[in-house]
């Protein structure tokens, strides 16, 4: 096993396209690192530079304590783990796992010992004589990992291994990969465009956008303290709401409520007059279900509810609002880049399934605005990553403006 250090790595393809731009990333020995971002952001390119399938234009790739830039893939001792279709259907599970050892003509005794040990680890012992077609999807994934294990690779690399599977199988396989990684403790780099996979699998997640690393952090840190609009919009489902927020003196006007800014955040905002406020759907609640003690730590305001969706264990309400054209344009662009189908001029609110709020009603919502993020609309920078924009006790006395009618 080994740590992987990526130092100021760049990739320019032969046609001049810069796919990876000055990426530096330290992956600890035994860590499960996710590379995530929309399609085309450079995830596969970066993974292929780690494993040696793609030349590194500049920078250093260090595995363990050796620089490997000039080393051939087979000399890097890393294992790409392919999904189940890479198994040979006519070979037994034993021979499928043994495959890399057979390739290098390892003695039979060694093959037997390594395959037996790997099978034990992977709970495949009683399946060794079967063919891949006789196994479940999860078991096949384990066979593919068995192949990587017998090679005693320093790290496992996965490139979107679950993207061709249906939702149910994807969930099962995700659990399987996580369980095996925890059991083996092998350094793992896993590429996906799926934020759910990123959030559930990784010790840490590296978010890429157009070849540039945006933020590397634990899933929780990314979710609660995104560095910018891009990370905030990419992580979380349904996505964070982005609302226009007008600065009026030391007050902030949102579509449905006005809140007082803390002096230090007010100072940070400087002469910006319009911001984008980021509020996650679950930061809202049906005001009628909020206990008195908690009610005082937030604001209550009225909204026009367009549609509600009841899903048994959760419920969403969709609330249209108006936004100035420049903010709308900025959000449309972000939406496109995130491959998001979310309509940005409607707010999504997560409600308790017990809530009686219904379509077409004016509903009373509760929000603790100290949980809100404020973004610079031009750079996308999160101006409130380390500090709440509103004090909770101030929020309680905030005056809601007259509710606006939807467009
Ligand atoms: N051989 C190549 N020549 C030129 N551009 C390439 C080549 N391979 C990939 N690209 C471009 O580099 C960018 C990143 O590709 P890739 O790493 O495959 O993205 P991802 O895996 O994040 O979807 C894409 O815009 C892609 O079109
Ligand atoms: Mg890819």
**Domain 4-229 top-level CATH class:** alpha beta
> What atom of ligand 1 comes closest to residue 208's alpha carbon?
22
CA dist 105 and 168 (Å) reads: 39
* pLDDT one digit per residue (tens) for the chain, 407 residues: 799 999 999 999 999 999 999 999 999 999 999 999 999 999 999 999 999 999 999 999 999 999 999 999 989 999 988 665 579 999 999 999 999 999 989 999 999 999 999 999 888 999 999 999 999 888 888 898 888 889 888 999 999 988 877 788 788 888 888 988 998 899 999 999 999 999 999 999 999 999 999 999 999 999 999 999 999 999 999 999 999 999 999 999 999 999 999 999 999 999 999 999 999 999 999 999 999 889 988 999 999 999 999 999 999 999 998 888 877 787 788 777 776 655 457 899 999 999 999 999 999 999 999 999 999 988 999 999 989 999 877 777 777 665 555 54
Q: How much distance in Å is there from the Cα of 99 to the middle of ligand 2?
A: 26
Ligand 2 centre distance from Cα of residue 251 (Å): 44
Half-sphere exposure of 41 (CA within 13 A, CB side): 24
Which residue's CA is the nearest one to ligand 1's atom 18?
Answer: 44
What number does the ligand 1 atom closest to the CA of 211 have? Answer: 14
Q: What does the block give as tokens for 381?
A: 């920078």
Q: Which ligand is nearest to the CA of 46?
A: 1
Residue in 17, 54, 206, 213 to alter for ligand 1 test, most ligand atoms within 8 A of Cβ: 17
How far the first Cα of the chain sits from its last, in Å, is 58
**Domain limits, the chain:** 4-229, 239-396
Asked, as a colleague might, if the bond just before 238 is cis with ω within 30 of 0, I would say yes
| Residue pair 374/327 in contact by the 8 Å Cβ criterion | no
Q: Whose CA is nearest to atom 14 of ligand 1?
A: 42
Distance 339 CA to ligand 1 centre (A): 17
Q: Which among 13, 46, 159 is the best mutation to test ligand 1's pocket, defined by most ligand atoms within 8 Å of the CB?
A: 13
Nearest CA to ligand 1 atom 2: 13
CA-nearest residue, atom 3 of ligand 1: 13
Q: What span, in angstroms and rounded, lies between the C-alpha atoms of 176 and 355?
A: 36
């Amino acid at each position: 096993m080994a740590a992987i250090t990526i130092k100021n790595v760049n990739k320019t393809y032969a046609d001049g396209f810069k796919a990876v731009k000055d990426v530096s990333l330290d992956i600890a020995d035994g860590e499960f690192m996710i590379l995530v971002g929309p399609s085309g952001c450079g995830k596969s390119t970066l993974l292929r530079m780690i494993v040696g399938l793609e030349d590194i234009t500049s920078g250093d790739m260090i595995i363990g304590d050796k620089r490997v830039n000039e080393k051939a893939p087979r000399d890097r001792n890393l294992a790409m783990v392919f999904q189940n279709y890479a198994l040979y259907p006519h070979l037994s599970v034993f021979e499928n796992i043994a495959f890399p050892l057979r390739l290098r003509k390892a003695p039979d005794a060694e093959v037997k010992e390594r395959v037996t040990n790997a099978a034990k680890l992977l709970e495949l012992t009683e399946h060794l004589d079967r063919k891949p077609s006789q196994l479940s999807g999860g078991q096949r994934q384990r066979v593919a990992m068995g192949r990587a294990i017998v090679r005693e690779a320093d790290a496992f690399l996965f490139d979107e291994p679950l993207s061709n599977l249906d939702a149910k199988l994807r969930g099962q396989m995700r659990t399987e990969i996580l369980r095996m990684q925890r059991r083996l403790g092998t350094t793992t780099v896993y590429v996906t465009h799926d934020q759910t996979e990123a959030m559930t699998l990784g010790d840490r997640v590296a978010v890429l956008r157009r070849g540039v690393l945006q933020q590397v952090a634990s899933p929780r840190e990314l979710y609660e303290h995104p560095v910018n609009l891009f990370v905030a919009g990419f992580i979380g489902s349904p996505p964070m709401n982005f609302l226009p927020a007008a600065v009026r003196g030391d007050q902030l006007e949102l579509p449905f409520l006005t809140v007082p800014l803390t002096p230090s955040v007010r100072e940070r905002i400087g002469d910006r007059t319009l911001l984008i406020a980021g509020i996650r759907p679950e930061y809202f609640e049906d005001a009628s279900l909020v206990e008195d003690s908690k009610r005082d730590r937030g604001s209550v305001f009225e909204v026009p509810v367009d549609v509600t969706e009841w899903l048994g264990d959760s419920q969403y309400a969709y609330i249209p609002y108006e936004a100035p054209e420049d903010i709308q344009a900025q959000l449309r662009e972000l939406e496109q880049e995130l491959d998001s189908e979310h309509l940005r001029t409607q707010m999504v609110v997560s409600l308790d399934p017990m809530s009686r709020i219904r379509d077409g009603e004016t509903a009373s919502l509760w929000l603790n605005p100290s949980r809100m993020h404020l973004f610079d609309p031009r750079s996308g920078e999160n101006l409130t990553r380390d500090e709440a924009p509103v004090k909770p006790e101030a929020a309680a006395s905030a005056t809601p403006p007259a509710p606006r009618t939807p467009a």
